[in-house]
Amino acid sequence: MTYLLNDPADFAVDALRGYAAAHPEHVMLAHGGVVRSTDTPVNQPALVIGGGSGHYPAFAGWVGPGLAHGAPCGNIFSSPSASQVYSVARSAENGGGVLLGFGNYAGDVLHFGQAAEKLRAEGVDVRIIRVSDDIASGPAESHRDRRGIAGDLVVFKIAGAAIAAGADLDEAERVAWKANDATRSFGVAFEGCTLPGAGEALFHVPDGEMAIGLGIHGEPGIREVPLGTAAEVADLLLDGVLEEEPERSGAYSGRVAVVLNGLGAVKYEELFVVYARVAEQLAAKGFTVVAPEVGEHVTSLNMAGLSLSIVFLDDELEEYWLAPADAPAFRRAAAGLPSGPPRTEVHTPGEDPIPEASAESKESAALIVQVLELLRDTAAEHEEHFGRLDAVAGDGDHGQGMAYGTRGAAAGGRDAADKGAGARTVLLHAGDAWAEEAGGTSGALWGAALTAAGGVFDDARAVEAPAIADALAAGIDAVVRLGGARPGDKTMVDAALPFRDALAAEFASTADLAGSVKKAAAVAREAAEATAGITSRRGRSRILGEKSLGTPDPGAYSFSVLMDALGNFLGSPGSFTELRSETSPDKQ
């Protein structure tokens, strides 16, 4: 458990604030993360790396000369929001473009991708590196589709060294991908981690066993095997990563970088016991180890476990691996590293100006805020159940994410409405707030859905029933477009698409908005329940395969619950009821 905290919801923010206060010579706070305390040299690419909190020293601990220029940090095990990534990147960028790096997880892909789109729209050249070193999460032939674990350190260290040596953005991107493609990792766990404020670990490993192929977000392994000695664990990890050793010819001759990583509860002496065997076996197999790293580099709160990363080096990768670096959690021969002048400011999201709105649109905005507050209350009521569904084959945080997201959306929408915003602007603000508060995959998707729905409305006119139906469809289309999931992947899409189609058909027939939404929500609930018979093919739960069978997808289920609540609201007195018969099929 976590002993020292204030409010569990503020744990990540409090920790980041304390980290920045402890290392003022290296970093300063930016919106949603940290940047170097010195400006990025003019025209040097900015390496911006990040992910969820709970992994220290990844990612904030790696900000400094020779490594990263900034790190956006999300909530525990949740991606930073697009606005946080954007703000950190804006603070770090100084004419040379931005290289965004993160582990290959759906939420990070979505939020970093959204930030990249915004930066590109403003003329900033942005490249993306998705670290994918975990051999347990996919086959060798699909290496770049795997998830990222402790290989993050190696890839970002090498990319940062290339930038410090003068690489432009094209060259830095090339080197980073080269490092990623040369890196393999494998891990085991002995007990799950506990979220701050929680009284129980996310999963337990049976006594005398260990979980093979763990993730770093509280996911259990893909299978359990008997717990061996330290030497047997070392052999298991080493055999796993060496199965994908390239042929020793040409640029690669058996020189490797090694990172033995503790995940939080396995401490240094234990790691040294394991590494003694790793070093012995590597020498026996004819490898030459270059600057090994043994310690905590990418943790998972207090998870009991460890991972082994091997980088198959050529001369270029070895040079950058050995190059100087000076970050709070990773220092190597740092004397003389160039840095920029003292930083005087960081990008801070200003209060977006509220566009003029008509009185009619403001009235609609007030009703939209009531909807958002109802969704907030509904998510809070079902938080525990959503979390239990997610814990079966995921990391158990879906209930928390939905509670955080709806709470943020309601507050963001209310704040905009209080400042005179119309219907469109209220939903746009609510979408940004949902994504920022929730983080993760669901935060990005629901944030995009609200933003797309808001785009259907107008600050100059009242919201009418056909526009509400169109907005719901637009939001779902945005989820499909951004998330890339298809029916049968066991995601929110399995409930959202049937909802969209049922709503369109029913509303075209009856023009009864509330009744149409209620019937469509019932269709969505049925579709969500049917996902219990599907094996997950996307997201973190895909790694656990068969474990997801028999349990509905939490995202599909929560979607159906919120849509049912929406239908109830639309049918209640004083809430858009006058719109239900305003446009009927025979009037169109």
User: Measured over all CA atoms, what is the biggest interatomic distance in the chain, rounded to whole angstroms?
Assistant: 82
Cα 387 to Cα 588: distance, rounded to the nearest angstrom = 44
CB atoms closer than 10 angstroms to residue 302: 18
Q: Are 91 and 40 in contact (CB under 8 A)?
A: no
Tokens of 555: 């995202």
* Catalytic (active site) residue 217: yes
Ordered alpha helix ranges (H), 212-267: 230-242
Please tell me which residue in 69, 217, 398, 429 is annotated as part of the active site. 217
DSSP 251: T
Q: Which residues pair with 584 in a beta bridge?
A: none
CA dihedral (98, 103, 108, 109) positive or negative: positive
Cα 499 to Cα 442: distance, rounded to the nearest angstrom = 18
CB atoms closer than 10 angstroms to residue 74: 28
CA 271 to chain centre: 28
Q: Are 503 and 360 in contact (CB under 8 A)?
A: no
Backbone angles phi, psi at 21, to 5 degrees: -65, -30
Distances (CA, A) of 459 to 89, 331, 365: 31, 53, 9
Distances (CA, A) of 434 to 112, 376, 439, 475: 16, 11, 8, 14
Nearest one of 119, 96, 87 to 42, comparing CA atoms:
96
Q: What residues are annotated to the active site?
A: 217
